Amino acid sequence: MQSPLLTDKDTPPGFRRIGVVVPVYGHSRFAVEAVKSACEQMLATPHVVAVVDDGCPNPETQHALTACRARYPGRVISLRQRNSGLSAARNTGVRTLLGLFPDIDAIFFLDADNRLENYALAAYAAALGTEDSAGWAFPDVHAFGLTPMVDGVDVRETTLADSALRHRRGNISEAGSLVRSDVFRAGVFYDETMKFGLEDWDFWLSAREAGFHGVRVTDPGFLYRVRPESMVAQSRRQTDEIMAGMQRKHSGLFARSALLADEHEEAPRFLMADLETGEIRATSDPLLPGRTLTLREAASLFEKHLSGIHEHDVPPVLVAHHGRAAADMEWPQHLRSLFFEALAEPLSGPHILSIRAADHASRFVGDTRRARKDIEAAEALIALIPLNELSRLAFERPKRPGLALVRDVTRVEHWSLPTLEQVPPFEGHVGRKRRIARLSALLRPFTRVSQARPLHHASRFYRGPIVKDVRELMADDLCGYAPFKPFPFIARGRGRCLVAVAPASLADEALQDAFGRFCERLSRAGLRLSLALDGQTANPVFARAARAADFENILLDPVPAPPPSDFGFMGSDIPVQDPSKHARLMALARGHDALITFGITDFLPFAGEAKGDKIFTILALDDILVERDAVRRRDPVTVVAAYEHAHHVIAAGAKARKALANCGVPSSRLVPTEALAFTIKSRLAH
């Protein structure tokens, strides 16, 4: 049947010729149906069908293909090769068509047990022609055969739009897709070493790495036959092993920075709402603009999610914020850290952060019964509202949702932040006493959305990756199943460096100057720096460290440190891992591309694990740190020698390098401090 939306005259321009590749091994009856459906397409554009016999031993298959060639002379090209697998057969077909017909603009892959409606190629070409930058058009899968539906057909949606994020966790593009010839000319072909399935998923990931993306075809006329003995059924038994190999092969796509950047663009974690200005934006990084929304658009997004929680994603946390607890230039440096620390606790309900400026860093949990007073009194307020709380409010529809939310607050945290400058009182148009009223105004549209599920065709299902699951799996990968979520520092490319320093390494002016020179070199090289300070940092120590360079983030540890746990090595005390800090420090390290410890810090015992986690680890030992044994019974050279194996590079002054070499540290691991920035950039570029 021809689609009522497409006719011969409606075939989209821009395609000089279209090819179809049909790999065949057995299934002679099915193959005849497939070839027939490919040849009888309603297209104004010329098209040619390459049938590749992958060394099938059955004479029936050869007879059937001979009959097809005779029935469609000039349209069917019949090829035969030694049995080499599905990927090799597809590649043979592609190379043959590109060699014989240089004007072919796109090639469709049709497996021998599937078939096409006569309008299919026109529908695919129409979708692919609308986006010049798209590399392929992929279908909603119309499955027939072994399906649970009464009429034997069901439609399986894998995504509502192309998504690089979802594609990493599930194959959203069926092999029955139309691919631009430019993809093959860019060197992207099927991996012929993949013999056990998922080769099409691997092909799409390779195309993405080459800079292409897909476009969805909602009514493709593509019919997928479900059989119990298909390659897809067999590949499910080896999925984990195949997936591990694909992740290694496409390491760039699965890199932490790439994953977080795609999440920020496609499925941001936060819906940020400024109670002062009314601005709303969807973002995974509180310092990036993200996508700006009106309040009505945000509520509509939430309504769509309620109507189809698997298909439609909405940021899982609504963040209402007001005021600041640091000077204008300093406040952004603390935001990512505040989000990171606060979200380590599961959000079972509304979570309030009350933040003030002080002369030290501290954090303690308050009384939820005082939540209303804390909201009105805080210098800076951040309210974290989980998605399930919005759903509850939408169900209950309270007249004053701000008050209803305050009554259900499950956690109140009081934070103190040391600052460099005296913080002037925040003077906004919205006073602190009106924060709850503004919360009600923000939440009211979310409580009025419709919860009626829209009508769906009984045979149409969503079977693609669910963003909630993708996001949770990604957090597990990035944070090692720790309670912490990924550190919200989004950047395309690599260059994020976490610089850790202890107060003892900033004890006097000479040490502070050395740290300042060290960080300044890194900043001048264009590296993006985060500063991690050990322990409860008082204002003078904070000021010394924070002024050392242009840090994008300042990470404070406001929890009192336990007594140090050491063991002896060559007459010196060597720090060991503190289990209470493991999850936090490793999650912070995984949020960066390089971990740099200046002297002896809490991060030092975790450097080996970070190195094994593909983080570039550097230990910096300035000459002045060697001269000043800042901690009794702890010789810096001995400590560094004990942990040299845990670091890719040790950056040291001339005296320190000589002392380390005398302790047995390989000279290949030692670099001058002046050359460290170049070493980091060179390493991260590969």
Do 410 and 507 lie in one domain? The reply is no
- Amino acid in position 477: D
Q: Are the CB atoms for 122 and 220 separated by under 8 Å?
A: no
Mean pLDDT of 452-459: 60
Find where tokens 């060991």 sit. 576
What secondary structure letter does DSSP report for 196?
A: S
Does residue 469 fall inside a structural domain? no
User: How far, in whole angstroms, is CA 393 from its chain's centroid?
Assistant: 30
Do 265 and 241 lie in one domain? The reply is no
Q: Identify the domain boundary among 416, 447, 478.
A: 447
Q: Identify the domain boundary among 249, 282, 316.
A: 249
* CATH number of the domain encompassing residue 199: 3.90.550.10
Q: Residue 531: which of 418, 366, 631, 666 has the closest Cα?
A: 418
Strands (E), 579-662: 594-598, 616-621, 649-652
Do 606 and 652 lie in one domain? The reply is yes
Mean residue pLDDT across the chain: 85
Angle at 231 between CA 166 and CA 117, to 5 degrees: 75
pLDDT at 429: 57
Structural domain count of the chain: 3
Does residue 473 fall inside a structural domain? no
Report residue 327's pLDDT band, with 50, 70 and 90 as the boundaries.
Answer: confident
Does residue 614 fall inside a structural domain? yes
pLDDT at 3: 47
Residue 192's contacts (CB-CB under 8 Å, 6 or more residues apart) are 84, 85, 87, 88, 91
Mean pLDDT of 51-79: 89
Does residue 308 fall inside a structural domain? yes
**Rounded Cα gap, residues 239 and 470, in angstroms:** 17
In sequence order, what DSSP letters do the residues of 472-489 get, joined into one string?
A: HHHHHHHHTT-SSPPP--
Q: Identify the domain boundary among 412, 432, 447.
A: 447
Q: Are the CB atoms for 94 and 184 separated by under 8 Å?
A: yes
**Rounded Cα gap, residues 638 and 662, in angstroms:** 10
**Rounded Cα gap, residues 224 and 142, in angstroms:** 6
Do 400 and 538 lie in one domain? The reply is no
* CATH number of the domain encompassing residue 607: 3.40.50.2000
Range of the domain at 608: 496-684
Structure token digits, residue 654: 């001339």
Does residue 466 fall inside a structural domain? no
Strands (E), 523-674: 528-533, 553-555, 566-569, 572-575, 594-598, 616-621, 649-652, 670-672
Report residue 234's pLDDT band, with 50, 70 and 90 as the boundaries.
Answer: low
Do 217 and 292 lie in one domain? The reply is no
Do 208 and 266 lie in one domain? The reply is no
Per-residue pLDDT reduced to its tens digit, 616-662: 999 999 988 888 754 555 678 888 888 889 999 999 989 999 989 98
Do 522 and 380 lie in one domain? The reply is no
Report residue 583's pLDDT band, with 50, 70 and 90 as the boundaries.
Answer: confident
Do 501 and 617 lie in one domain? The reply is yes
Per-residue pLDDT reduced to its tens digit, 625-635: 888 754 555 67
Q: Is the pLDDT of residue 530 over 80?
A: yes
Is beta strand 213-217 parallel, antiparallel or unpaired with respect to 460-462?
A: unpaired
Does residue 484 fall inside a structural domain? no
pLDDT at 231: 54
Report residue 352's pLDDT band, with 50, 70 and 90 as the boundaries.
Answer: very high
If phi over 0 gives left and psi between -120 and 50 gives alpha, with beta otherwise, what is residue 503? alpha
**What global pTM score does this model have?**
0.86
Per-residue pLDDT reduced to its tens digit, 15-39: 889 999 999 987 778 889 999 999 9
Does residue 399 fall inside a structural domain? yes
- The DSSP element (H or E) to which 528 belongs, if any, is strand 528-533
Do 282 and 413 lie in one domain? The reply is yes
Structure token digits, residue 1: 């049947």
Side-chain half-sphere exposure of 446, counting CA atoms within 13 A: 28
In sequence order, what DSSP letters do the residues of 169-181 get, joined into one string?
A: TS--S-SS-EEEH
Do 56 and 160 lie in one domain? The reply is yes
Residue 407's contacts (CB-CB under 8 Å, 6 or more residues apart) are none
Do 241 and 278 lie in one domain? The reply is no
Does residue 641 fall inside a structural domain? yes
- Amino acid in position 89: A
Do 227 and 307 lie in one domain? The reply is no
% pLDDT > 90, the chain = 45
